[in-house]
Amino acid sequence: AQGQTITAVMHSSLRVLDPIITTAHITRNHGYMIYDTLLATDHDNKIQPQMVEGWKVSDDGKTYTFTLRDGLKWHDGQPVTADDCVASIKRWAQQDKMGQMMAEMLTEMKAVDAKSFTMSFSEPGDLVLRALAKPSGIAPFMMPKRIAETPATQAIKEYVGSGPFKMVESEFRPGLQVVYEKNQDYVPRKEAPSATAGGKHVYVDRVKWIATPDAMTSVNALVNGEIDYLEQLPYDLAPIVESNDGIKVEVLDPMGYQTVMRMNHLHKPFDNKLIRQAAMYAVNQESILQAQIGNPKYYQTCPALFGCGLPYESKAAEEISVKGNIDKAKELLKQGGYDGTPVVILQPTDTPSVNSQPVVIAQALRAAGFKVDMQAMDWQTVVTRRAVQAPPSQGGWNIFATNNTMIEALDPLRAFGVVANGPKAWFGWPDVPAIEKLRLEFARATDEAQRKDLAHKIQALVVEEGVLLPMGQYFVPAAFSKKLSGVMPSPVPVFWNIKKSAG
Amino acid sequence: MFNFILRRAAASIPVMAVVAAVVFAILRLTPGDPAAIIAGDSATPEQLGEIRRMMGLDQPLYTQFFMWIWRLLQGDLGTSLLSGVPVTEMIAQRMGPSLALCLSTITLSVLIAVPLGILAAWRQGRLLDRMVMAGSVLGFSVPVFVTAYVLILFFSLELRWFPVQGYKPLDAGLLPFVKSLALPTLALSTIYVALIARITRTSIIEVMGEDFIRTARAKGLREGGVLFGHALRNAAVPIVTIIGVGIAMLISGVVVTESVFNLPGLGRLVVEAVLARDYPVIQALILLFAFIYVFINLIVDALYTVFDPRIRY
Amino acid sequence: MSNTTTATPDGAIGSAPPAQPRSVFWTTIRSWPVMTAIAILVLLVLVAVFAPWLHTVDPTALNPAARLKPVSPDYWLGTDAYGRDVFSRVLYGARVSLVVGLGAALLSVALGLAIGLAAGYFRWMDAIVMRVMDGLMAIPGILLAIALVSLSGASLVTVLVAITVPEIPRVVRLVRSVILSVRNEPYVEAAVSLGTPTFTLMRRHLMPNTLAPLLVQGTYVFASAILTEAILSFLGAGVPPEVSSWGNIMAEGRAYFQLLPGLVLYPGILLSLTVLSVNVLGDALRDALDPRMSQRV
Amino acid sequence: MNHYHNDGNRASAEAPVLTIEGLEVRTPARDGVPGRVVVRGMNLAVHAGETLCIVGESGSGKSVTSLAVMGLLPRNALAPVAGRIIVDGEDILQAGPKRIRELRASRMAMVFQEPMTALNPVQPVGRQVEEVLKLHTRLAAAERRKRVLDMLDSVHLPDIERVYESYPHQLSGGQRQRIVIAMALILKPRLLIADEPTTALDVTTQKQILGLIRELQTRHGTAVVFITHDFGVVAEIADRILVMNRGEVVETGTRDQILAAPAQDYTRMLVSSVPSLIPQPRPALQGEVVLQVRSLNKLYYKAKKPFRKQESVAAASDVSLTLRRGEILGIVGESGSGKSTVARCVVRLIDPSSGEVRLLDRDITGLGRGGMLAMRKKIQIIFQDPYRSLNPRRRVGDSIIEGLLNFGVSHADALKQAVRAMELVGLSADVLDRYPHQFSGGQRQRICIARALVMEPDVLVADEAVSALDVSVQAQVLKLLEEVRQRVGVGVLFITHDLRVAAQICDTIVVMQHGRVVESGAALEVLSRPRQDYTKALIDAAPGRDWDFQNFRPAPSAA
Ligand SMILES: Nc1ncnc2c1ncn2[C@@H]1O[C@H](COP(=O)(O)OP(=O)(O)OP(=O)(O)O)[C@@H](O)[C@H]1O
Ligand SMILES: Nc1ncnc2c1ncn2[C@@H]1O[C@H](COP(=O)(O)OP(=O)(O)OP(=O)(O)O)[C@@H](O)[C@H]1O
Ligand SMILES: [Mg+2]
Ligand SMILES: [Mg+2]
């Protein structure tokens, strides 16, 4: 009755509606539906203006002035003002890691008039642009001032943005469905759309995200024409869909994902670098990826911590990360004086994308001579357990595996897994000051070649020290009905530019 | 009757109290932290602590428990930790599909099973009886999700009669509503048909051995008259009991069925909530289920008086 | 199906069964469906015990290069998503299912018997115990199980406990109803007046009456435990994936149902066959031991 | 003999309403083994207006015969294999099921033993009676209702409008039996079969029901087949008597022939086993007092309803009695008068609400579990139901020595004593390792007595210990008790509702009504010169008072 609707099954269900408070991808995706960003990153990883008309840099390179473009309106009809943006940036900068980095250098941020504001920094650099164009992690979405003034640790209660879609709050069912309708007042940019940048033209009336708890069910529903779009097609079910004339299977996020292994540096046996290396040598990417993905079309072994085919690609420490070498592992184990302390591996059982890695890791470690204690639990328990710093015997852990989207691990600043400042670092708490030093240099570097070199060095250190082990890169195909046209490649699934034909 | 209801209501208070305490204890002893879910994958420990504080999860357990009970007594079930939506509202949103599924399952099962059970009792020891009984044992023996998959494969993907998944509320039209419920109902019904048919059969056979059946025959009543005029109502109490028990059991079946068929009901909500440690939601739902259980038992007991005039409360 | 309470309003089981002539027992047991059921169960136990010698490989051995292979001479029932041999997994899975079934049956019967005896005989305990049992019954078993498994992590023991706990109240009710109906039997009162001490009285005169119904109830717990294990696996709260059980083979295989239906169907068929056999056996025992018990499901 | 003439009937007035010739009933053959014969060579004839009593011990085939007539034999268990059953000129065994259904209730009707279970508990009784009319007549609803009400009236039910709407559980046993009779007779059948219709009833009610059947019979000229094992009833109502034993007819004849001059030994034995209502004079006992009950009260509380005071039933109030060594003290009274309550309080199976029970001059009222345990040896109880008094799973020997073992006797000694006790009750010692189901009811009751006696108690409480037994067995057990009393000198508290039994065995009698003792004294005194109206009514109601069974003659017109 409401004209054209796209029904989509997303990778998970939407419950948390505040895109600043969580890094959950589904909430980020929701953010791109109803909010807009000041800057954006295009398909070629170039920074583009989005809500702003443009920006000016002062001669000393320390002050940026941003000017909003015309016609921006909140969903409640109020115009978007510079004040709103200042408040939004403030809130975001408290939550996002890159934002925090930026905030440390920020000396002043203020609205100049209704449509422009300035940001001044203690040092010259373009960090502000990279931060504000950040497409993932916590993306800097703009909200009206009254909402953006909600403390950063409290979830917002009002969902008013200026993005191309409006949320139909009456139809929101936490965990089940969320419905968006076209924002008639939205003024798209003139440029062609490109990833999260460019003109966000909406051609359908409504977009409905539903959640299905069962992969099989979603695929069947797609085949049966009950849904139009499946964000993540389970690899093993691809053949069913591929053989179907009405359905297109396509990898929309060209950067893909990376699966990683993390060891706990605080406790035996992985407080010993040699033993960490032994574990890393034991694992080989191919079998991890085979078990996890299966179909070689969708994965590649990759030594690059910051992504193969991406700006900071490097082959550093390749011999450790890619092939694996069981003899070397055994030798290192002996050198490290492994005393048979069992390795506690956290194994989630309810989340397909991380179910298989621990199983393969366990088998590899056993082959190398480790004693392994697999502990199965649901993902929520993994999430809690991995934060426990106590020894494995008292509820702690030694190994867990997870996945990163490459867009969040694109460079040493975004990649939270390479942070190595001890107790403040991500779970596993590696303490390698050399890495931190290089990262600081990276943040300050302005020359791309210099950055590449730094990234290369960081990668070598990260892997050799056993901070984070990349276990391969993979790509997630989306499947959608051929009734949809204009589905764009993008690291974030977007629903503008899509047209739906009848019938 | 009024007295009876009062008494039962009073008797259910300790039951509910036990439920509340058990549920609370189990949940809070369970590892897993809703704060971590909200914070996401890359959150720092400080952020986590901040969110925990915000949600009151840093309070001592007993404080949390009494806070919960206190609010409960005021009719406040709390809000979902994840979505911030009041639990009552979430329950209201999810009630429809579950209710529809349960009602249709019970109705279908009773409509099929009672005649089947009667038929089996009627032909006791004969082929028909054996077949019904064999079928009913089989009904217990197949996991509901296997039944569900087979039904989907056949009726949805082969015949394309019914949708694979999803729920269409009644306002979307009767036909879509019925279609969306058809397979889940069928899948869930197998076990109840089996259960009720067996009980019907045995209790009718039991009653048919009673003295008053002989009296009825001595009057010159035909077997049909004996069965329907005298046996059935006497067999009703165990049948009603098992239907009541079945409704209580249904909840487990609903959890699985709703997952397979993607029905946005309470069953799925509770599993999601458990996996996400959304305490207020889990607590409220289990209390709700327990309440339904108690309530169904009350109805069943009240129904006894309808079927059996000897039972008075 | 064991997850039901007694069919009578207060669960009274009536007077003690008159001892049946042996021949009735054996004719009931010796019908072909029952003999088939027993044969199947015996075969299963043998398979479970001798799994390592039945042309199996290590059921946990991964081989990601050979995942999701169809049935072939190398893989008699194909391989699963990790390239594990399904035939081996299914055979070893019999162990887990039988352990879960038997364990749940024994545990729930033992605990239920102890609690039920106490509640049925000591009237002052009755009110308290039964309220707690009512409370436990009011919590849907599957949810309790999910919560318990989340609580202490997925392991065979946890799953066993999680399946057993919700069954206990039913056993307690059953035992209690038997005790209530027997405690005023003249022969029990006669024993009282002969000065038989309470615990001897329970052991000698009360407990044996619960044996037959418990045996039957035990078979139903057995059957439903196997099913529940499968459902728990299905919901992601079953035994750890490293352990092969029919439940988690099916749960993992369900994503590939349309590609390799065998992953669900082979263990599914075995599971149904087992449950079916146990149920048939339970029904037969019930009919053989006490026809009056056929009232309970 | 009353030859009733029914016009419009083809059969001659002299032809019997029911004739059975050479009837044989068997259980079905299984696996080539021919079925067991249950009834064989049955011959009988009943004329209009006549009452034929079929007597015989339990299991002799009385019920099977009557069910065969009605065509109600359980289909898979029993079948008539030979003979003819002719009702009003029509052979039942040849008639099709439809025809038999037509005959039931209209031509032949049956009243069953258990009034408690013979009626559908979930239907108002009026409807159940009316159903007969619905099935066999084309009367309009109002007419039917009127006929039913008339019938209820003619079976002397009070307040018939209310009774019509009542459910069975809302009526007393006697009232229910009247309903069943009304149901059987509403179509004025030619033949009424009554299978132990009064066995479950009080003597007073029994008397009324017997009178009622008699009255309706004379009014409609019905032929009645009356099945019973109670010779008192037989003496009261029979025109002719048929004696059965083990599925066969032993003897048949008029009432006086059978009761006064039985031709067969079996019949003689049966008739002479019926205890006399007139007690033997007995010397007053002066032995030591072993049991004294003073002002015993027992209240049963009903489940409390909210906002109401808790209701209670006084099952025993202010009961006092004294039992001496070697004395048999009978407690008699109608059902529900509190007899068992007193017994159970005395044995402390239940706790008295107030009052005092002194055993061997020691107050046991307040003893706890432990204290009572020590006293248990001194007082033993025997229950009514011999089938449920022994643990079916234990060998009888184990049951008998259980008590001794509890009191620290060694296994070997206990066994020796058990053997002696078995001899005392007339069983051989080699049956000790058998199970209870291998014994008959009478044997089981002896075993129970042995179990009690082996403890060498000072007081034996027998609660309806012989009520479930056939007269012949009953006589044996009573004799046994008498012997034991003499040999062991135990004091016996003997509870019964059967005045004949009480008269036979008791030294003293206590009459109870509504939980109170209404009269007590020497047996001869109480039974032959009752002072209370209640006692008098009780004695009046005892059937067959005007027949002296043991001496095969009408009773001397005393009593
Ligand atoms: N349904 C049945 N199946 C097999 N045998 C039966 C069945 N009913 C009765 N009998 C047998 O038939 C015989 C006669 O039984 P019947 O009931 O006629 O005895 P009865 O004289 O009425 O005894 P009672 O005084 O105890 O009522 C018994 O030996 C009994 O075991
Ligand atoms: N457990 C009980 N709870 C409540 N009332 C009871 C209980 N037992 C007996 N009564 C009541 O107490 C009264 C006396 O019962 P009791 O069994 O002593 O009678 P009785 O004389 O032995 O009868 P009968 O001859 O039928 O055995 C009856 O009104 C009975 O309903
Ligand atoms: Mg009989
Ligand atoms: Mg009594």
Q: What is the 3-state secondary structure (H, E, C) of D449-488?
A: HHHHHCCCCCEEEEECCCCCCCHHHHHHHHHHHHHHHHHH
Q: D87 and D20 in one domain? A: yes
Mean predicted confidence (pLDDT) in C244-248: 85
Q: How many folded domains does chain D comprise? A: 3
Angstroms from D414 CA to nearest CA on chain C: 13
Q: Which candidate, D36, D45, B271, places its Cα nearest to that of A175?
A: B271
Predicted pLDDT at D379: 92
C-alpha distance across the termini of chain C, in Å? 7
Chains that touch B (3 or more CB pairs under 8 A): A, C, D
The answer to whether position D559 is within a domain reads no
Suggest the residue from C24, C187, C210, C211 to mutate for an interface test with chain D (most D CBs closer than 10 A): C187
Q: Is a pLDDT exceeding 80 seen at residue C151?
A: no
- Quote the ligand 3 centre to D228 CA distance (angstroms): 8
Near ion ligand 4, which residues have CB within 5 Å?
D 340
Domain extent for C180: 79-290
Q: D168 and D227 in one domain? A: no
Q: Is a pLDDT exceeding 50 seen at residue A23?
A: yes
The answer to whether position D342 is within a domain reads yes
Q: B99 and B33 in one domain? A: no
Q: Which candidate, A349, A393, A392, A386, places its Cα nearest to that of A261?
A: A386
Residue in this structure with the two tokens 């069964």, named with its chain if needed = C17
The pick from D20, D30, D36, D38 for probing ligand 1's pocket by mutation, whose C-beta has the most ligand atoms within 8 angstroms, reads: D38
Predicted pLDDT at C9: 30
Task: Determine whether A103 is exposed, middle or buried from the number of CB atoms within 10 Å of its CB (0-12, 13-18, 19+).
Answer: middle
- Indicate if the alpha-carbon torsion angle A306, A309, A310, A316 is positive or negative: positive
Question: Six-digit token pair at A86?
Answer: 């200042």
Q: D261 and D326 in one domain? A: no
Beta-carbon separation of A237 and C62 below 8 A: no
Q: Of residues C70 and A168, which shows the higher confidence score?
A: A168
The answer to whether position D375 is within a domain reads yes
Edge-to-edge strands, sheet with A52-57:
A52-57, A63-68, A116-121, A106-111
Choose one of D143, D173, D188: the last residue of a domain. Answer: D188
**Nearest by CB to B290, which of C132, C138, C234?**
C138
Q: B135 and B106 in one domain? A: yes
pTM of the model: 0.80
Q: Of residues B272 and D376, which shows the higher confidence score?
A: D376
A225 to chain B: closest CA residue: B163
The answer to whether position C297 is within a domain reads no
Q: Which candidate, B50, B73, B70, places its Cα nearest to that of B62?
A: B70
Beta bridge partners of D332: D511
Residue D337 Cβ contacting ligand 2 at under 6 Å: yes
Q: Is A81 in contact with A91 (CB distance < 8 Å)?
A: no
pLDDT in tens, B200-229: 888 888 888 888 898 899 888 888 889 888
Choose one of D161, D188, D215: the last residue of a domain. Answer: D188
The answer to whether position C23 is within a domain reads no
Q: D205 and D220 in one domain? A: yes
D192 touching B, CB under 8 A?
no
Q: B233 and B116 in one domain? A: yes
Predicted pLDDT at C32: 81
Share of chain B above pLDDT 70, in %: 94
Contacts of D166 (CB under 8 A, 6+ apart): D124, D125, D126
Cα separation, D452 vs D490, whole angstroms: 11
Q: Of residues C146 and C171, which shows the higher confidence score?
A: C171
3-class SS of residue A106: strand
Question: Six-digit token pair at D470?
Answer: 């056939």
Q: D451 and D366 in one domain? A: yes
Q: What is the mean pLDDT of chain A?
A: 90
Chains that touch C (3 or more CB pairs under 8 A): A, B, D
Q: B133 and B42 in one domain? A: no
Beta-carbon separation of C195 and D381 below 8 A: no
- If one counts every other C-beta atom within 10 angstroms of the C-beta of residue A211, the result is 23
Predicted pLDDT at D149: 94
The answer to whether position D215 is within a domain reads yes
- Quote the ligand 2 centre to D446 CA distance (angstroms): 26
Predicted pLDDT at D9: 39
Q: B202 and B122 in one domain? A: yes
CA D493 to chain centre: 20
Q: D200 and D181 in one domain? A: no
Q: B117 and B30 in one domain? A: no
Confidence of residue C19 (pLDDT cuts 50, 70, 90): very low
The number of residues in chain B equals: 313
Beta-carbon separation of D388 and C187 below 8 A: yes
pLDDT in tens, B7-22: 777 878 888 888 888 8
Predicted pLDDT at A89: 95
Question: Six-digit token pair at D23?
Answer: 């009837």
Q: What is the DSSP letter of B105?
A: H
The answer to whether position D3 is within a domain reads no
D168 to chain B: closest CA residue: B310
Predicted pLDDT at D258: 92
Q: D268 and D136 in one domain? A: no
- For chain A, the farthest-separated pair of C-alpha atoms sits apart, in whole angstroms, at 71
Residues of C with CB under 8 A from a CB of A: 60-62, 64-65, 67-68, 81-83, 150, 153-155, 236-242, 254-259
Q: B97 and B69 in one domain? A: no
Q: Is D226 in contact with D54 (CB distance < 8 Å)?
A: yes
The answer to whether position C106 is within a domain reads yes
Q: Which ligand is nearest to the CA of D334?
A: 2
The answer to whether position D516 is within a domain reads yes
Residue numbers of chain D with a pLDDT score lower than 50: 1-12, 558-559
Nearest-atom number in ligand 1 for the CA of D67 is 18
Amino acid at B108: L
Near ion ligand 3, which residues have CB within 5 Å?
D 63
The answer to whether position B80 is within a domain reads no
Q: Is A237 in contact with C254 (CB distance < 8 Å)?
A: no
Cα separation, D173 vs C209, whole angstroms: 32
Angstroms from A241 CA to nearest CA on chain C: 11
Cα separation, D434 vs D428, whole angstroms: 12
The answer to whether position C205 is within a domain reads yes
- Quote the ligand 2 centre to A73 CA distance (angstroms): 87
The answer to whether position B79 is within a domain reads no
| Atom 10 of ligand 2, nearest CA residue | D315
Q: Is a pLDDT exceeding 80 seen at residue B51?
A: no
Confidence of residue B42 (pLDDT cuts 50, 70, 90): low
The answer to whether position D91 is within a domain reads yes
Residue D133 Cβ contacting ligand 2 at under 6 Å: no
Q: Which ligand is nearest to the CA of D28?
A: 1
Q: B62 and B97 in one domain? A: no
Q: D207 and D166 in one domain? A: no
- Quote the ligand 2 centre to D441 CA distance (angstroms): 24
pLDDT in tens, D464-480: 888 878 888 888 888 88
Q: Is a pLDDT exceeding 60 seen at residue C5?
A: no
pLDDT in tens, C86-135: 899 999 989 888 899 999 999 999 999 999 999 888 888 888 888 888 88
Domain extent for B279: 90-312
Amino acid at B82: L
List chain A residues with CB under 8 Å of C83: 290-291
Q: D516 and D373 in one domain? A: yes
Q: D523 and D395 in one domain? A: yes
The answer to whether position D553 is within a domain reads no
The answer to whether position B82 is within a domain reads no
List chain C residues with CB under 8 Å of A216: 254-255, 257-258
What CATH number should be reported for the domain holding residue D379? Answer: 3.40.50.300
What CATH number should be reported for the domain holding residue C141? Answer: 1.10.3720.10
Predicted pLDDT at A117: 96
Residue D496 Cβ contacting ligand 2 at under 6 Å: no
The answer to whether position C22 is within a domain reads no
3-class SS of residue D31: coil
b/e per residue, D543-559, with b = 16+ CB within 10 A? bbbebbbeebeebeeee
A360 to chain C: closest CA residue: C62
Amino acid at D203: V
Q: Is a pLDDT exceeding 60 seen at residue A307?
A: yes
pLDDT in tens, A327-337: 999 999 999 99
Region of poorest pLDDT, from A430-434, C32-36, D325-329: C32-36
Q: B226 and B124 in one domain? A: yes
Choose one of B73, B105, B132: the last residue of a domain. Answer: B73
- Quote the ligand 1 centre to D59 CA distance (angstroms): 5
Q: How many folded domains does chain B comprise? A: 2
Backbone dihedral region for residue A302 (phi beyond 0: left; psi -120 to 50: alpha; all else: beta): beta
Q: How many folded domains does chain C comprise? A: 1
Question: Six-digit token pair at B287?
Answer: 């209390």
Domain extent for D184: 118-188
Q: D510 and D377 in one domain? A: yes
List chain A residues with CB under 8 Å of B269: 175
The answer to whether position C248 is within a domain reads yes
Nearest-atom number in ligand 2 for the CA of D515 is 14
Beta-carbon separation of B241 and C9 below 8 A: yes
Q: B94 and B69 in one domain? A: no
Contacts of A22 (CB under 8 A, 6+ apart): A16, A138, B38, B39, B40
Q: B166 and B239 in one domain? A: yes
DSSP state letters, chain B: -HHHHHHHHHHHHHHHHHHHHHHHHHHHHS---HHHHHH-TT--HHHHHHHHHHHTTTS-HHHHHHHHHHHHHTT---B-TTT--BHHHHHHHHHHHHHHHHHHHHHHHHHHHHHHHHHHHHTTTSHHHHHHHHHHHHHHHS-HHHHHHHHIIIIIIIS--S-SS----GGG-HHHHHHHHHHHHHHHHHHHHHHHHHHHHHHHHHHHTSHHHHHHHHTT--HHHIIIIIIHHHHHHHHHHHHHHHHHHHHHHHHHHHHHHT--SHHHHHHHHHHHT-HHHHHHHHHHHHHHHHHHHHHHHHHHHHH-TT---
Contacts of D305 (CB under 8 A, 6+ apart): B3, B7
Q: D177 and D59 in one domain? A: no
Q: B219 and B111 in one domain? A: yes
Nearest-atom number in ligand 2 for the CA of D341 is 18
